[in-house]
Structure 1
Amino acid sequence: MRRGWSLRGRLVRRLVLGVSLGWLCGMALTMLFLSREMTEFMDDILRDSARVVLATGGDFTAADRTVFPAYRIVTPAGEQGDAPWPRQQADGPRSSGGWRIYRLSRPADGIAVELGQSNEWRRDELLESIGGLVLLMLPVLGLVLWIVRMTVTGALTPALRFARSLGGRRADDLSPVAAADLPEELIPIPDALNGYLGRIGQYVEAERQFATHAAHELRTPLAAASAQAQLMVAGRADAEAPRQIDRAIGRLGRIVERLLELSRAEAGIANEAGCDLVVVLRMMIAEQRPAPAFDDGDLEVAQVAMHPDAAALMIGNVIRNAADHGTGPVRARLRPGPVLEIRNPVAASAGFRQGTFRKSPDSEGVGLGMTIIRKIAERSGVALSFSIQEGEARVRMDFTAIARPA
């Protein structure tokens, strides 16, 4: 089985990438801030040292030569120092020839002090400070990445536990799954799964009931035919035995036919072919004896996106049920939409029984007609409605949703 991508791996990678980028951006801003602060700090050192040297009357021994590798001191007696930059004329900080210079003078005594630091030295000091900061922050970054990985792993542990619990379930276990420790974002998964298992359970139970009812319906005519056949073999059968066997076999054939029709209805019949309802209706009415009265509403063509076999199966069952369970002639009326309505008189106690194998006590049918009609209508997009008014049963089939232009 092909393995999919790892949620934990993807989360860890993205979080690590995000944390790393954030760390780099933070370090870049820190370096910019540190560079500015170091520049101001070194300028302050130049200024303060120049004040000390000036206060001692030009004695450079008061300054640190490692911090100020070059200087110039101008006194009335002359100039001393090895400054490589041109002599400055104004007090304050200056940059000249790769040096950062600070000049401070005392005009009353004729003394001027110039202290300088090379830009290269200042850059080396700055890089050394930044390198130390990076070395200190690398363990912090590693710790943060480890915490991210462990946090993601811990957050996904309930989901992995849930997956293992599903993998250990029996194939016939359709009970709801428990997901008490799942995070809120994953709760829809067990909810949807429980709904799915519930529907499967309903289908399995429906299949069991169907098998039970089908076996019962098949067993009854088989038992009747077998009993009559045994009597005939023993020579104790009466004159009605052959007819009873024929009726039993006929009922058995009808049951098998209905079961096959139900199987086709549940499997679904493709709708790509399309059909003309007027043609299908005329064919189904011609097969029924006595033939129902048909009012086509002056419609010559009524094209719908429904396979002709599906339409014939559904309409044929409606007409057959009306003829079998009604007390008078069946009438079919087709109107624009197209909408088909089939009606016939019924007894006062009559009613539509929608369940599979549900039928009235005195019915000789199988109890599958309404189930076949409903399933085909649901799969084909036909709107069904059933009603009994003033002793007349009506079945309305609205094909408007699947109508095609003529």
Structure 2
Amino acid sequence: MVSSLLSDHRIKLDPQGRPVAVPMPPSSDYKRELSCQIWTLQGLLVGQSGAAPVEAMSSPGQTGFSERMIDGEKWRVYTAVNQRLGLRVSVGDSIAVREGLVQAVIRSVLMPAAVVLPVLALLIWFATARGLAPLDHLAAGLRARGASDLSPLPDGPTSREILPVRRALDALLARVRAHREHERDFIAFAAHELKTPLAGLKMQAQIALRAEDEDTRRHALEVMERSVTRTDRAVRQLLELARVGQTEAGGTPARTGNVARSVVTELAFFAEARQVTLRLIPGPDGEVSDGLVLAVVLRNLVENALQATPPGGTVELHTTPDTIDIRDGGTGIPDSLRARLFQKFAKGANRDDGTGLGLAIVRQALDQIGAEVEFVMAEDGHHARVHLHPRSGQGLLTGEA
């Protein structure tokens, strides 16, 4: 800037060579801190600012940045040479003044921060403690609960931030409560269903041991065989009920035709023993989200159909992408049973052959895969239709045409 002012003759040097005053930029911060000297290339001082030192700020021939001790004080200087005018211009400031300026800036920042930061920390602590108070209250309530208390969390004001946590905990408690109830039901079902046949088996075994004639012994053994068969089915159904109740969503997908084919193959011996024809009428294949759960559904429905069909009759499975239709030769569901059809231990006409668990298992299994079952009495027989992709979304259906 100074060199340009000299070139434009806006700073006029004295013809006699006496130093002239050089004006510095009108900045309040640097007005007295920047100093300027103008020297001829022959080493004659021809101009300087008011705060410039008496000693030369740069050595002859020095250009660019440099540091120099002047009167025991270190200076930072920049020197430029104007060859056209034959002048050397040096501008610099004291390092001590620069460091003082830095310290002043630091003080101006740290002093307010030293006052504001503790206040901010206190406000943050207060806001955090107040915001977490509902969560602490919730944690205290959970710690005070007993291991058997799975009831929903008590109603009360809940902040918006922890409302999702509260809802998730309530949902988790509901799932754990359902599993606990299922375990208790399973134990009760097992005791209820196995106690009577086991007692009957013991009694018939005693009769067979004490029988003096072959006919009495044979009759006792036949009763024992039927009881063992019924107990075997009861145990299997109880295990299926436990497995379905413990199964989480997200099983192994399967083709409906493959599942139906495996169930028909598995129950072929049972159908032959009852003198009923069991066959699969395959149609277009569909897919189900959990093949094992669907197999449980079909197995229990087909067993019920085989028990309801008189000897010489037929049970057919018809598969489509959305429906599996099981037609039997039975008389349908009696009105007295329809209201409690899916309750555990609800039995129809063949009370001695069934356990009353089949449709209860079907209900839980269908809920697991999001399907429905519909019972319809038509001209060609009784139908149990499993709708794999129901439109109503209302769970299990029962009906009669």
**Would the TM-score normalized by the shorter structure come out above 0.5?**
yes
Q: Which residue pairs with 2:236 in the alignment?
A: 257
Q: Which residue pairs with 2:148 in the alignment?
A: 172
Q: Which residue pairs with 1:385 in the alignment?
A: 373
Q: Which residue pairs with 1:85 in the alignment?
A: 21
Q: Which residue pairs with 2:384 in the alignment?
A: 395
Alpha-carbon distance between aligned partners in 1 of 2:298 and 2:105, rounded to the nearest angstrom? 90
Tell me the CA shift for residue 84 of structure 1. Answer: 7.5
RMSD: 4.5
The answer to which structure, 1 or 2, has the higher relative contact order (CA under 8 A, 6+ apart) is 1
Q: Which residue pairs with 1:155 in the alignment?
A: 131
Tell me the CA shift for residue 243 of structure 1. Answer: 3.4
| Paired residue type of 1:224 | G
Tell me the CA shift for residue 387 of structure 1. Answer: 2.1
Alpha-carbon distance between aligned partners in 2 of 1:151 and 1:95, rounded to the nearest angstrom? 45
SS of residue matched to 2:376? strand
Pick closer, same or farther for the CA change 1:321–1:191 going to 2, 3 Å: same
SS of residue matched to 1:276? helix
TM-score by length of 2: 0.58
**Contact in 1 for aligned 2:252/2:289 (Cα 8 Å):** yes
Deviation string 1:159-211 (CA, Å, 9 cap, x unpaired) is: 13422432343222212333636422212322321232133223322322232
Deviation string 1:311-367 (CA, Å, 9 cap, x unpaired) is: 554333222101213568344242542632112342643648223333237522012
1:194 aligns to 2:170 (yes or no): yes
Q: Which residue pairs with 1:247 in the alignment?
A: 226
Pick closer, same or farther for the CA change 1:148–1:117 going to 2, 3 Å: farther
Structure with the bigger percentage of helix: 1
Q: Which residue pairs with 2:306 in the alignment?
A: 323
Q: Which residue pairs with 2:14 in the alignment?
A: none
| Paired residue type of 1:319 | V
SS of residue matched to 1:159? helix
2:323 to 339, 362, 367: 339
Sequence identity (%): 24
SS of residue matched to 1:188? helix
**Contact in 2 for aligned 1:359/1:367 (Cα 8 Å):** yes
The correspondence of residues 217-232 of structure 1 with structure 2, limited to 5 A, is 217-231=193-207
Q: Which residue pairs with 1:355 in the alignment?
A: 343
Alpha-carbon distance between aligned partners in 2 of 1:265 and 1:190, rounded to the nearest angstrom? 28
| Paired residue type of 1:159 | L
TM-score by length of 1: 0.57
Alpha-carbon distance between aligned partners in 2 of 1:159 and 1:226, rounded to the nearest angstrom? 59
Tell me the CA shift for residue 232 of structure 1. Answer: 5.3
Residue ranges of structure 2 left out of the alignment (5+ in a row): 1-18, 33-49, 53-91, 391-401
| Paired residue type of 2:386 | M
The correspondence of residues 26-65 of structure 1 with structure 2, limited to 5 A, is none
**Contact in 2 for aligned 1:276/1:303 (Cα 8 Å):** no
**Contact in 1 for aligned 2:260/2:280 (Cα 8 Å):** no
Aligned length: 297
**Contact in 1 for aligned 2:260/2:295 (Cα 8 Å):** no
| Paired residue type of 1:276 | N
Pick closer, same or farther for the CA change 1:178–1:360 going to 2, 3 Å: same
Residue ranges of structure 1 left out of the alignment (5+ in a row): 1-82, 101-115, 402-406
**Contact in 1 for aligned 2:276/2:309 (Cα 8 Å):** no
**Contact in 1 for aligned 2:373/2:384 (Cα 8 Å):** yes
1:204 to 172, 180, 190: 180
Q: Which residue pairs with 2:252 in the alignment?
A: 271
1:373 aligns to 2:362 (yes or no): yes
